[in-house]
Structure 1
Amino acid sequence: MNPSKKFASQADLEEKKVSFSQISEHAWAYTAEGDPNTGIIIGDDAVLVADTQATPAMAADVIRRIREVTDKPIKYVVLTHYHAVRVLGASAYAPQQVIASQDTYDLIVERGEQDKASEIGRFPRLFRNVETVPAGLTWPTMAFTGKMTLFLGKLEVQLLQLGRGHTKGDTVVWLPQERTLLSGDLVEFDATPYAGDAYFKDWPQTLDNIAALNPRALVPGRGAALVGEEQVQAGLAGTRAFISDLYQAVQAGAAAGKDLKAVYKEAYAQMAPKYGQWVIFDHCMPFDVTRAYDEATQYADPRVWTAERDRQMWEALEG
């Protein structure tokens, strides 16, 4: 570990190359080399956008790409979960409806303000145009529990809660007719899962529930779009392995009565050879291990991250 390691992603200033690609008849992926992705569904009469980018200025680039392929109105924005990098760009789309699970709505109420301050501190590059975010939080206009179905003309779009994982409110967008999934941060590809708000014990089962849909194409939360069953399975397997390996390492250390710092050093050493080259590995590990340690010891539910708690944790583990 490097004592001069910059807090969270503050050392990450390099511009990422954006890709915008069609992954099935009605679905498109906006990806940027491990930065947060956006999934787009172009239906018969309207467009649905899942995950909005961190600011309206960044969302403007997504809209520009959408407008290169369709002039249909962007009626729906879906929040796969509550994190600021996913939701604060929503206003740029001027959607008719902003849809989230009731669990995601509840998390915005409970910890949206703290999360916003925390994430802006962690990701200076993604929040560079933060002044373009309207005052206040991004609020859903519709909430659902379990399952909601939208019809964009004849195209059926299902919003599903398949279990807790990245957060308690995780929602996926599923096109049953073309077996295409927008997973949010439940699935990552060659990018480190952020697990500061996670349910480690539930996440592998939730991934199995995704696998049971047998998707043919998938837009992960970060990393390249996955096309073909083989690539999709690889993305699911990689995410599942990371979550399981990390929790196993932390659980073992906690069971042996070791403190968080000792457990962190051991878990980092165990994980780095296999996952260290994944995007944002160094950024995520302190948050991930802290949450895993919490879950393995005394906190069934994730504690609220504040900008101050971020700093204290970083200092304790990396200082």
Structure 2
Amino acid sequence: MAWQYTKGLHDIGNGIYAYLQSNGSWGWSNSGLIVTGEDTLLVDTLYDMHLTGEMHETMSRQVPAAKTIQTIVNTHADGDHTNGNGFFPAAKIISSKSTAEEMQHTVPPQVMANMLKKAPPEAYMRKTLGAFHFDGITQRFPTETFEGHTSLSVGAKKIELFHIGPAHTDGDTLVYLPQDRVMFTGDIVFAEAHPVVWAGPVSRWIYACDFILEQDVNVIVPGHGPVTDKSAVATLKQYFVYLFEEAEKRYKAGMNALDAAYEINYEMFSSWKNPERMIPNVAAVYREISQTAEKPVIHETFALMSQWNKKKAEQADATSHR
């Protein structure tokens, strides 16, 4: 089935829905709704209270049972999947233990709000995150955690949770509905966009792709991008295998990670959004090869990605004027 990539609630069937934001770039994440009778579960919330409230209003209008969200599963700790938790003060929140620990150390929404206010209009942060409202967010952290694997039910519907990270983050979790052959992947899958490796290792992300490909799954709801199927996962695996091989060549040749990111040819993925993410992704390969445990400094990484976009724009402009 060809899924429309439009904003709003999409009916996957049998009480399963995907809420898409039809952009997929920085902060524009997807969510999911699972309903059996009056039992409800939400897979992830959105980046701010306004967007989460808008999503909940849409869900409640189309699926009346969604007026009361009983359970939330957070697939990982990033704010664009967790900042809206506070919109549901009575809901039980489940995550992997690693996600719960990571959430305690992520940049608080109010700090993000202050950073945005101080950023000049041309700043990369303002351009990528300026549409979000970080003021007024009440953070809610998981009330229950698990390690490895656990299962739960929404009515008679069985749901399997697999802690598949570290990859994108330490706590990445897959939400699998085996009877329906549907999986919500969080940011283990970015569809039609370059993924971003914050935690790594990249080899673990390749393993996560293999794990998904081995499951009996027809429909995949990614953390960002359109609803898809296993073909997107196979392409994502190809991306990481290629990235690792190309970065490893340059590491062995003595090239630094930043220069390697600029040199690697990513034309086969030229239709994907956010190519600037090659910078943290190549750096992640370098960390893995060198067995360096230190994670990237986020604001420094964003500064480098901003430079990437600026240089690529200058190159494109120079080419067009030849």
TM interval, shorter chain, is 0.7 to 0.9
Other-structure match for 1:187:
189
Quick check: 2:213–2:234 contact (8 Å CA) kept in 1?
no
Cα distance change, pair 177–311 in 1 and its aligned pair in 2 (3 A):
same
Instruction: Tell me, in whole angstroms, the C-alpha distance in 2 between the residues paired with 1:57 and 1:79.
Output: 18
Instruction: Tell me, in whole angstroms, the C-alpha distance in 2 between the residues paired with 1:160 and 1:70.
Output: 27
- 1:39 counterpart = 2:44: no
Q: CA RMSD in A?
A: 2.6
Cα distance change, pair 116–85 in 1 and its aligned pair in 2 (3 A):
farther
Q: Which string of whole-angstrom CA distances, capped at 9 and with x for unpartnered residues, describes residues 174-217 of structure 1?
A: 11211111011111211211113222011111111111112111
Instruction: Tell me, in whole angstroms, the C-alpha distance in 1 between the residues paired with 2:239 and 2:81.
Output: 22
Instruction: Tell me, in whole angstroms, the C-alpha distance in 2 between the residues paired with 1:118 and 1:252.
Output: 37
TM-superposed CA distance for 1:54, in Å, is 0.4
- 1:26 counterpart = 2:18: no
Other-structure match for 2:255:
258
Cα distance change, pair 307–279 in 1 and its aligned pair in 2 (3 A):
same
SS at match of 1:237: helix
Other-structure match for 1:274:
268
Other-structure match for 1:58:
51
- 1:130 counterpart = 2:134: yes
Instruction: Tell me, in whole angstroms, the C-alpha distance in 1 between the residues paired with 2:189 and 2:231.
Output: 10
Quick check: 1:114–1:306 contact (8 Å CA) kept in 2?
no
Cα distance change, pair 296–101 in 1 and its aligned pair in 2 (3 A):
same
Cα distance change, pair 19–245 in 1 and its aligned pair in 2 (3 A):
farther
TM-superposed CA distance for 1:224, in Å, is 0.9
SS at match of 2:151: strand
Quick check: 1:114–1:307 contact (8 Å CA) kept in 2?
no
Identify the range of structure 1 (184-193 vs 113-122) with the bigger mean alpha-carbon deviation. Answer: 113-122
Other-structure match for 1:78:
73
Aligned letter for 1:148?
T
Q: Which string of whole-angstrom CA distances, capped at 9 and with x for unpartnered residues, describes residues 128-150 of structure 1?
A: x211312xx44111111112222
TM-score, structure 1 normalization: 0.82
TM-superposed CA distance for 1:25, in Å, is 1.0
Instruction: Tell me, in whole angstroms, the C-alpha distance in 2 between the residues paired with 1:279 and 1:313.
Output: 13
Quick check: 2:149–2:161 contact (8 Å CA) kept in 1?
yes
Instruction: Tell me, in whole angstroms, the C-alpha distance in 2 between the residues paired with 1:315 and 1:107.
Output: 28
Other-structure match for 1:69:
62
TM-superposed CA distance for 1:312, in Å, is 6.0
Where relative contact order (Cα < 8 A, 6+ residues apart) is larger, the structure is: 1
Which has the greater radius of gyration? 2
Instruction: Tell me, in whole angstroms, the C-alpha distance in 2 between the residues paired with 1:80 and 1:175.
Output: 14
Instruction: Tell me, in whole angstroms, the C-alpha distance in 1 between the residues paired with 2:87 and 2:6.
Output: 21
Quick check: 2:244–2:285 contact (8 Å CA) kept in 1?
yes
Q: Which string of whole-angstrom CA distances, capped at 9 and with x for unpartnered residues, describes residues 287-316 of structure 1?
A: 2222222222242x4615343553367559
Quick check: 1:118–1:310 contact (8 Å CA) kept in 2?
no
Q: Which string of whole-angstrom CA distances, capped at 9 and with x for unpartnered residues, describes residues 115-165 of structure 1?
A: 9857976432452x211312xx44111111112222222111221223532
Quick check: 2:166–2:199 contact (8 Å CA) kept in 1?
no
Other-structure match for 1:3:
none
TM-score, structure 2 normalization: 0.81
Gaps of 5+ in 2: 117-124, 312-322
Cα distance change, pair 152–17 in 1 and its aligned pair in 2 (3 A):
closer
TM-superposed CA distance for 1:173, in Å, is 1.0
Cα distance change, pair 28–161 in 1 and its aligned pair in 2 (3 A):
same
Gaps of 5+ in 1: 1-15, 227-231
Identity over aligned pairs, percent: 21
Other-structure match for 1:141:
143
Aligned letter for 1:216?
N
SS at match of 1:168: coil
- 1:93 counterpart = 2:104: no
Instruction: Tell me, in whole angstroms, the C-alpha distance in 2 between the residues paired with 1:295 and 1:318.
Output: 28
- Correspondence list, 1:110-259, <5 A: 111-113=105-107, 122=125, 123-127=128-132, 129-134=133-138, 137-226=139-228, 232-259=229-256
Cα distance change, pair 313–62 in 1 and its aligned pair in 2 (3 A):
closer
Other-structure match for 2:295:
303
Instruction: Tell me, in whole angstroms, the C-alpha distance in 2 between the residues paired with 1:233 and 1:266.
Output: 30
Quick check: 1:264–1:317 contact (8 Å CA) kept in 2?
no
